[in-house]
Amino acid sequence: MTTADDSLDPDWMLLFGAWLITTLAALGSLFFSEVMEFAPCSLCWYQRIFMYPLVIVLGVGLFPVDRGAVRFGLPLAIGGWLTAAYHTLLYEGVIPESASPCQMGVSCKEEYIEVLGFLSIPALSLLAFTAVVGALLVVRRRQKT
């Protein structure tokens, strides 16, 4: 039996790409905290709160391809994007540290690693959320037309 579900339509590909990014981000963050033993700061936790459910929401939305995943996924992705943007600005020193909400535990400006020499952890997060928000917006636009 051949169904329309079997074809790799653009919607599915976009959702799958978004799921792949969130899963990579989730596993990557777990690698940093559980394997490399970097303690996550409070802003990192908020980004995790937005990122981890996306793995499930987008994964479920793939079978069968469900554009409704965009409706549930987009608010999470935007929330995460805003947190990541704030974190990146803080990390890069654009926002002064006195405005930082992290007083206890690990500083949100703690420098752990720079992937490829220039990508900090907050920047990786911002990049991932940007890609996910972008992919979901494209699916949404296709939905409307």
Residue 119 makes contact with another protein by CB under 8 A: no
Residue 42 makes contact with another protein by CB under 8 A: no
Positive or negative, the CA dihedral 62, 64, 65, 69 is: negative
Residue 138 Cβ vs another protein, minimum distance, rounded to whole Å = 19
Dig out the tokens for 56 from the structure: 């499930």
Residue 5 makes contact with another protein by CB under 8 A: yes
User: What is the spatial distance between Cα 39 and Cα 11, in angstroms, rounded to a whole number?
Assistant: 37
Residue 111 makes contact with another protein by CB under 8 A: no
The residue among 44, 63, 145 whose CA lies nearest residue 102 is 44
Cα separations in angstroms, 139 against 55, 99, 133: 17, 36, 10
Residue 116 makes contact with another protein by CB under 8 A: no
Closer to another protein by CB, 78 or 110: give it: 110
Residue-level length of the chain: 145
Residue 32 makes contact with another protein by CB under 8 A: no
Q: Which residues make up the interface to another protein (CB under 8 A)?
A: 5-6, 8, 12, 16, 19-20, 23-24, 27, 30-31, 34-37, 39, 59, 62-63
